[in-house]
């Protein structure tokens, strides 16, 4: 946390930004204008280009998508007037609306959609379109041809903003043109983004005609709130007990989770880079099950998150593909001790740590240094598991160090997405050792088969049953009811200070990443009388 001096400095900067060259006046605590000033998070490093990843964790603002989610996370049409999937699952045909124009007045056509996906596929960095064979642009329709069936292709239609072929260039990210509810006005790097309502927008017109996004850290956002300079600001839980005149706290539920990823295999292997793989202690299922059983998740929520969160059991709690049978009874040291005893773990030397032969139930849990929340969760979890006779050493490391150690040590990681493909990436054997996904080299043939059935499904509804069974099918699964390759701990509420009488609508369960997801329904925000 920054010092008080730093916070005050940020507040001064905020006032200077707002009253400076942009001509925007500080937000009035009583007046209800059609302008809004918010501080929801950091600016995107690569700018506002969907092809480079913009809009995947929150509304793309400037661009429209073919499909989108409503406030209940149902899939609904946006640019698409209709769509269907072929019987073999390899062709997706999307009919386009005929009333859509870009903010420069030029019509949005099937060629723009084709251009967007072709460019994204060739770019290859932000959007994984390796299964896309080609895109065919027809008369007001687009056909996506896939190499093999993929039910999750629908999520690319939900998250990929369409860019104009006629106006796309290397500088597009700095001055985007789109067909979304807002248009780009000004971006001062490191300071602010200004947008205005799009007069050409085909959907419900936004209530607010001008939005200013301030790029402030947590201390700066809180200081700006106290100064009355913003209408909405994100804050960490550490500020949640401090009152700010004229503002309330909105706590939004999330799948922004934190959990412990265990090395699933025994020690001895090495990656192509020569980094060690496996851990003999965490490779024992009894150890992983006992940790899941003894940890008190609600205490972690209450003590570390000040109550602003919820116990986590999977990477996708509360989402349509979550299997709620994965909830486990925790905070039960006696049950954890029995699991260990049944697995051959006993404390034969009386030092408080159980052993199995010559192997002690002791391992290291790593977290990224500088992340106070992950550090606190790791330390608290280590203290809790002592009741079961397990000893965890907690160490903070740089991300460069973690990449070399994460396959042979337990890791405190965070995920959370509106796409079940993330679950696939975290648990599929095909993603073993790939980036930060399946760091523990988890593998279960039944789970892999269920994943493939989910991907091969023709509709999201059909796929849901397979995604849920992969978590727990009554016999096995990737959750703590089954193999327990993770001990998920908490879902972190996203907290916002909001001006009294500012209605920010029904907020959806938000994904990993505090900030931009709150803008998903920003066109419906309004002042209440």
pLDDT band at 467, cuts 50/70/90? very high
Which of 21-35, 193-207, 354-368, 392-406 is the least confident region?
21-35
Q: In terms of pLDDT, which residue wins out, 44 or 480?
A: 480
The answer, yes or no, to whether residue 3 has pLDDT greater than 90, is no
The answer, yes or no, to whether residue 359 has pLDDT greater than 60, is yes
What is the SS3 assignment for 110? Answer: helix
Residue 16 is predicted with a pLDDT of 45
The answer, yes or no, to whether residue 326 has pLDDT greater than 50, is yes
Q: How much is the mean pLDDT over the chain?
A: 92
Domains of the chain: 1-43+189-254+494-529 (3.40.190.10), 62-170 (3.40.190.10), 257-492 (3.10.105.10)
Residue 191 is predicted with a pLDDT of 95
The answer, yes or no, to whether residue 5 has pLDDT greater than 80, is no
Work out the average pLDDT over 196-208.
Answer: 94
Work out the average pLDDT over 170-187.
Answer: 96
The answer, yes or no, to whether residue 187 has pLDDT greater than 70, is yes
Work out the average pLDDT over 300-317.
Answer: 96
Three-class DSSP labels, 138-164: CCCEEEEEECCCCCCHHHHHHHCCCCC
pLDDT band at 31, cuts 50/70/90? low
The answer, yes or no, to whether residue 30 has pLDDT greater than 50, is no
Residue 71 is predicted with a pLDDT of 86
Look up the pTM and report it. 0.88
- For residue 486, how many C-alpha atoms fall within 13 Å in the half-sphere facing its CB? 28
Residue 56 is predicted with a pLDDT of 84
Residue 306 is predicted with a pLDDT of 93
The answer, yes or no, to whether residue 341 has pLDDT greater than 90, is yes
The answer, yes or no, to whether residue 20 has pLDDT greater than 60, is no
The answer, yes or no, to whether residue 515 has pLDDT greater than 70, is no
The answer, yes or no, to whether residue 486 has pLDDT greater than 90, is yes
Residue 375 is predicted with a pLDDT of 97
Residue 459 is predicted with a pLDDT of 87
Closest CA to 335 of 288, 294, 296, 380: 294
**Dihedral (Cα; 383, 384, 387, 392), 10-degree rounding:** -50
Q: In terms of pLDDT, which residue wins out, 460 or 247?
A: 247
> Over the range 120-151, which residues count as b (16 or more CB within 10 Å of their CB) and which as e?
bbeeeebbebebbeebebeeebbbbebeebbb
pLDDT band at 97, cuts 50/70/90? very high
Residue 432 is predicted with a pLDDT of 97
pLDDT band at 124, cuts 50/70/90? confident
Work out the average pLDDT over 383-402.
Answer: 98
Share of the chain above pLDDT 70, in %: 93
Please state, in angstroms and rounded to a whole number, the distance separating the CA atoms of residues 362 and 287: 10
Share of the chain above pLDDT 90, in %: 83
Alpha-carbon Rg for the chain, nearest whole angstrom, is 24
Q: Where are the alpha helices (DSSP H) in 200-307?
A: 218-226, 285-294, 297-304
Closest CA to 168 of 115, 118, 125, 123: 115
The answer, yes or no, to whether residue 4 has pLDDT greater than 70, is no
pLDDT of 275-301, one tens digit each? 999 999 999 999 999 999 999 999 999
Work out the average pLDDT over 183-193.
Answer: 96
Work out the average pLDDT over 107-111.
Answer: 98
Residue 32 is predicted with a pLDDT of 61
């Amino acid at each position: 946390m920054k010092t008080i001096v730093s916070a005050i400095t940020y507040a001064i900067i905020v006032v200077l930004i707002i009253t400076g060259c942009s001509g925007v006046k500080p937000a009035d605590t009583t007046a209800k204008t059609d302008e809004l000033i918010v501080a929801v998070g950091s600016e995107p490093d690569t700018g506002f280009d969907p092809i480079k990843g913009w809009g995947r964790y929150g509304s793309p603002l400037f661009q429209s998508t073919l499909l989108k989610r409503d406030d209940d996370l149902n899939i609904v049409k946006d640019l698409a007037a209709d769509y269907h999937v072929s019987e073999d699952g390899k062709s997706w045909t999307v009919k386009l609306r005929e009333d859509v124009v870009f903010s420069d007045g030029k019509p949005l056509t099937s060629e723009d959609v084709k251009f967007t996906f072709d460019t994204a596929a060739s770019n290859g960095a932000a959007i994984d379109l390796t299964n896309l064979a080609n895109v065919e642009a027809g008369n007001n329709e687009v056909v996506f041809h896939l190499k093999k069936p993929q039910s999750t292709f629908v999520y690319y239609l939900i998250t990929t903003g369409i860019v104009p072929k006629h106006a796309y260039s290397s500088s597009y990210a700095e001055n985007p043109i789109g067909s979304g509810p807002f248009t780009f006005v000004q971006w001062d790097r490191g300071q602010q983004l200004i947008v205005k309502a799009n007069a050409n927008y085909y959907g419900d017109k936004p209530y607010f005609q001008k939005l200013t996004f301030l790029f402030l850290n947590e201390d700066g956002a809180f200081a700006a709130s106290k100064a009355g300079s913003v209408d909405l600001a994100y804050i960490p839980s550490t500020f949640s007990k401090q009152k700010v005149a004229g503002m309330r706290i909105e706590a939004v539920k999330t799948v922004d989770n934190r959990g412990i990823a265990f090395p699933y295999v025994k020690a001895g292997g090495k990656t192509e880079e020569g980094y060690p793989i496996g851990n003999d202690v965490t490779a024992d299922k009894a150890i992983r099950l006992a940790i899941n059983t003894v940890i008190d998740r609600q205490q972690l929520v209450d003590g570390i998150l000040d109550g602003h969160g919820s116990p986590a059991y999977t990477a996708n709690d509360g989402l349509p593909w979550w299997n709620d049978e994965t909830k486990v009874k925790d905070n039960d040291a006696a049950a954890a001790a029995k699991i260990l005893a049944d697995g051959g773990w006993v404390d034969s030397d009386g030092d408080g740590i159980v052993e199995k032969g010559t192997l002690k139930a002791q391992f290291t849990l790593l977290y990224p240094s500088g992340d106070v929340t992950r550090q606190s969760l790791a330390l608290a979890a280590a203290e809790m598991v002592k009741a079961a006779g397990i000893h965890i050493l907690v160490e903070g490391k740089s991300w460069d160090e973690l990449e070399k150690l994460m396959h042979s040590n337990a890791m405190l990681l965070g995920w959370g997405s509106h796409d079940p493909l993330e679950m696939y990436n975290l648990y599929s054997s095909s993603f073993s050792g790939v980036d930060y996904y399946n760091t523990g080299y988890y593998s279960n043939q039944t789970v892999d088969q269920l994943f493939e059935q989910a991907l091969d499904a023709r509709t999201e509804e059909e796929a849901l049953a397979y995604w849920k069974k992969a978590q727990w099918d009554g016999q096995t699964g990737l959750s703590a009811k089954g193999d327990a390759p993770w001990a998920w701990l908490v879902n972190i509420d996203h907290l916002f200070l909001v001006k009294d009488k500012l209605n920010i609508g029904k907020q959806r369960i938000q994904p990993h990443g505090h900030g931009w997801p709150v803008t998903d329904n920003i066109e419906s925000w309004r002042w209440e009388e």
